[in-house]
Amino acid sequence: MTAPRVLALDLSITATGYALPDGATGTFKGPWKGDWRLVAIKTAVAGHADAIDLAVIEDLPTHAKAAGITGMVHGAVRTVLLEADVPYVLITPATLKAYATGKGNADKTAMAIAALKRAGREFPDGNQCDAWWLRAAALDWYGHAEFTLPQAQRDRLTKVTWPDRAEVTQ
């Protein structure tokens, strides 16, 4: 079976981290101000919608002060994905951290060290690192892991509500 083409997103109004299906990462910042950033992020995601099978998004933190602003970004991106008929999955920050490091309260440094240790990858910022781990989680779940993790860490992915494989590779 072919690996799904996964777009992973660590959404933020100021610096959205992304990982493309080929594993390349980046941070979308752009020159836009205020709510126009929502349009820019929505347009950037729409530009990839035809080339992906699944989007993986870091879910909103439950008690974050910025959840309202980040929630607007989530709404804009989810609308694009729904209109393009691209399934998406949400992974909570704690589940992603536990998958990557074994600890649900890991910090950005621990996430970066885990990526370096497991795959030799380094990132210029934590947004790209998180997006890269989101993509890695999806590929692992669908049987295309790019590296080995302890089973206890992989088991964390059972907490996520994943689309059926048939829905992802329609």
| Cα 83 to Cα 10, 133, 135, 151, 167, distances in angstroms | 20, 26, 22, 36, 15
Distance CA 143, CA 153 (A): 15
Specify the pLDDT at position 165. 84
Specify the pLDDT at position 69. 74
Global pTM?
Answer: 0.94
Q: What angle do CA 90, 91, 94 make, to 5 degrees?
A: 150
Specify the pLDDT at position 63. 66
Both tokens of 71, joined, read 């929630």
Yes or no: say if 109 and 99 are a contact pair by the CB < 8 Å rule. Answer: no
84 in the Ramachandran plot: left (φ > 0), alpha (ψ -120 to 50) or beta? Answer: alpha
Distance CA 108, CA 114 (A): 10
1 belongs to a structural domain: no
Structural domain including 155 reads: 6-165
- 3-class DSSP state of 170: coil
Total of domains in the chain: 1
The Cβ of residue 110 has, within 10 Å, a number of other Cβ atoms equal to: 15
170 belongs to a structural domain: no
Helix axes 108-119, 93-101, angle to 10 degrees: 40
87 belongs to a structural domain: yes
Rounded mean pLDDT of 63-84?
83
Yes or no: say if 5 and 48 are a contact pair by the CB < 8 Å rule. Answer: no
100 belongs to a structural domain: yes
For residue 41, what is the domain's CATH number?
3.30.420.10
Specify the pLDDT at position 67. 65
Each residue of 122-166: pLDDT tens digit? 999 999 999 999 999 999 999 999 999 999 999 999 999 999 988
Specify the pLDDT at position 13. 83
Specify the pLDDT at position 64. 63
